[in-house]
Amino acid sequence: MQFVVIGAGNIGAVYGGNLARTGQDVAFVDVWPEHVDRINRDGLRLEGLSGDFEVRVLAVTNFQKAPKADAVLICVNAYSTAGAGAAARCLLKEEGFCLTLQNGVGNIEAIQEAVGPNRVLAGLSFMSGDLAGPGVVRHTNAGPTYLGELDRSRSARLQWLNDRFALAGLNPMLVEDIVETIWAKFVHNCGINAICAVTGLRPSQIHAVKDLDEFQSKIIEEAVALVRAKGHALTGADEVSKIKEYCAHKSHRPSMMQHLDRGKQTEIDSLNGYVARESKRLGLAAPYNDALTSLVKGREFRPSISGEDV
């Protein structure tokens, strides 16, 4: 059975690398030529929580050179979802399926539009990785991987995927309502990623700055208000306390921090930016998410500025 991972960055490398380590056939599609070249020449090296090891896998920049897939894992940033969906449509075998492991909302619908509504499984990851350089990724956080069918069934393909993720140490957890779980993760990401990206602090350091701790609470409260206004029931009685408790024990670098550090576009528009836009559309106030979105966009613009300040 063939896996193709679209996006060989922080998350894609952790999942694809660990699957390959257990004997699964894995190929990667990624847009970074140096990364792809290093993987093909020296193998993909993973370090950190899942151990230090190298796997020999095929990596390509042109998806048309990848093998046909039984399962396509989509691990790209949200702004690249449409392109990844188009690639997956060409790569999937007749009975193949896609799994999205992305942050933000709207990814499922975009992939379904590309490959068909019945060929998509949804997932969300509490794993984290840190791209150390071409061909090298550090596994920095080993949380659960939630998986589910959109129709809430326990299908054979879902169980097949669960078994292979379990063997690879990817901590799968099958959930009945994956959509509600994704909305909860959306609030989680809104409350952490952009704050760390703008300040340079790790999640566990946010609480040490009183004003920032209060700012985080407001960010989460606005996101919760929007999600509930859209008719989604969050399982946590107190999302603010739940997210702060999570932060207290985590010192990894969230993906948005890594993107800004490398001068790359972030997923802010599908996280805090979505909260700001959708709240405005529904007549809700979200000034904290609006402000945070503007700050991240300012940081995104910064690498493009040339010359010295005068």
Whose tokens are 């995927």? That residue is: 161
- Asked if 195 and 218 count as a contact pair (C-beta separation under 8 A), the reply is no
Residues 230, 269 share a domain: yes
Question: pLDDT tens for residues 101-154?
Answer: 999 999 999 999 999 999 999 999 999 999 999 999 999 999 999 999 999 999
pLDDT of residue 308: 38
For residue 227, tell me if it sits in a domain.
yes
pLDDT of residue 309: 40
* pLDDT above 80 (res 297): yes
233 band by pLDDT with thresholds 50, 70 and 90:
confident
Using the 3D structure, point to which of 176, 196, 229 is the last residue of a domain: 176
Residues 16, 76 share a domain: yes
Residues 245, 161 share a domain: no
For residue 309, tell me if it sits in a domain.
no
Residues 195, 122 share a domain: no
Q: What is the CATH number of the domain that holds 145?
A: 3.40.50.720
- 294 residue type, one letter: S
Residues 90, 193 share a domain: no
Residues 21, 121 share a domain: yes
- Asked if 270 and 78 count as a contact pair (C-beta separation under 8 A), the reply is yes
pLDDT of residue 306: 42
For residue 307, tell me if it sits in a domain.
no
- Please report the DSSP string for 159-192 in residue order: HHHHHHHHHTT--EEE-S-HHHHHHHHHHHHHHH
Question: pLDDT tens for residues 258-281?
Answer: 999 888 899 999 999 999 999 999
pLDDT of residue 215: 98
For residue 310, tell me if it sits in a domain.
no
Residues 246, 161 share a domain: no
310 band by pLDDT with thresholds 50, 70 and 90:
very low
pLDDT of residue 305: 44
For residue 308, tell me if it sits in a domain.
no
60 bridge partner residues:
29
Residues 112, 12 share a domain: yes
Whose tokens are 């996280």? That residue is: 271
For residue 233, tell me if it sits in a domain.
yes
Residues 158, 57 share a domain: yes
Q: What is the CATH number of the domain that holds 208?
A: 1.10.1040.10
Degrees to nearest 5, angle at CA 32 with 139 and 99: 60
Q: What is the DSSP letter of 76?
A: S
Residue 197 CB partners (closer than 8 Å, separation 6+): 254, 256, 257, 259, 260, 266, 296, 299
Whose tokens are 């950190």? That residue is: 48
Residues 190, 133 share a domain: no
pLDDT of residue 304: 52
For residue 260, tell me if it sits in a domain.
yes
HSE-up of residue 286 (Cα within 13 Å, Cβ side): 30
Residues 160, 220 share a domain: no
Using the 3D structure, point to which of 117, 144, 176 is the last residue of a domain: 176
Residues 167, 46 share a domain: yes
For residue 206, tell me if it sits in a domain.
yes
Question: pLDDT tens for residues 177-232?
Answer: 999 999 999 999 999 999 999 999 999 999 999 999 999 999 999 999 999 999 99
Task: Give the separation between CA 147 and CA 99, rounded to whole angstroms.
Answer: 9
Using the 3D structure, point to which of 133, 152, 176 is the last residue of a domain: 176
Q: How many domains does the chain have?
A: 2
303 band by pLDDT with thresholds 50, 70 and 90:
low
% of the chain beyond a pLDDT of 70 = 96
- Domain residues for 22? 2-176
Find the range with the poorest average confidence among 46-55, 89-98, 190-199, 237-246: 237-246
Task: Give the separation between CA 216 and CA 282, rounded to whole angstroms.
Answer: 22
